[in-house]
Amino acid sequence: MELEIGSATGAGYGEKNTMRRVRRNGYRDRDWETRAGTVVLRIPKLRKGRYLPSFLEPRRMAEKVLTALIQGS
């Protein structure tokens, strides 16, 4: 998420950049329900606009990847 939000804002966390497009505005907590259990996510907020991590959009595919990782451990 940090890499995605860095490219969306034009600067990394705490980085000063004159080309910054938008500023961060803290985090919001979100519970991500999967078959393996609940994962608490801290999703960065933006002052203008909205950010949703790319892995949350295709929920089924992301859940399959998480389940495969857990089973492989």
Q: Which residues pair with 40 in a beta bridge?
A: 31
- Mean pLDDT for 3-11 is 83
Burial of 8 (0-12, 13-18, 19+ CB in 10 A): middle
Output 10 or 43, whichever has higher pLDDT. Answer: 43
Q: Which one, of 57, 63, 4, lies nearest residue 36 by Cα?
A: 63
pLDDT at 64: 75
pLDDT digits (tens, 9 = 90+) for 13-63: 878 878 788 888 889 998 988 778 898 999 998 888 888 888 776 566 667
Q: Please, are residues 10 and 19 in contact by the beta-carbon 8 Å criterion?
A: yes
- In this prediction, residue 19 carries a pLDDT of 78
pTM: 0.61
Dihedral in degrees, nearest 10, Cα atoms 25, 15, 56, 61: 180
The alpha-helical segments, DSSP class H, found in 1-73 are 2-9, 59-72
